[in-house]
Amino acid sequence: MTENLMAQWQVQRKAFNMKNAKAINAMHELKEQVQQAEPTEINLRLLVEIFCMLYMYDEAYKIFISVMDVNNKKEIQYDSLLDGQSTKCKAFITMYYSGGN
């Protein structure tokens, strides 16, 4: 079972795109599968990786939404979005603006 979950993780990780709701939902489904699996060290490490990816997505999305000009539907400049963010958030925002993967 662990090998199957690891294989799914590799596929999901490579296919993860925060602009694609299906990819996000698939990652949540994988998280649930891993949570239900036997709590081996490998499965727990895998669960941490999945939680980190989903957490970074959630944080980046909150940052992205919080800096939008709702009245004009205009996004602020990329450089301004990076100001004051953690390294993980910067990496995630950069990935978003570069088109994902």
Q: How far is CA 39 from CA 13, 19, 27, 45, in A?
A: 21, 31, 19, 10
Mean pLDDT over each residue of the chain, to the nearest integer: 71
Predicted TM-score (pTM) of this structure: 0.57
* Residue 1 or residue 31, greater confidence: 31
Instruction: Dump pLDDT digits (tens) for 59-90.
Output: 666 666 565 544 444 444 555 555 555 555 65
DSSP 45-66: HHHHHHHHHHHHHHHHHHHHHH
pLDDT score at 47:
83
The domain in which residue 41 lies consists of: 2-97
- Residue 34, pLDDT above cutoff 80: yes
- Per the structure, the count of domains in the chain is 1
- For residues 14-40, b (16+ Cβ closer than 10 Å) or e, as one string? eebbbeeeeebebbeebbebbeebeee
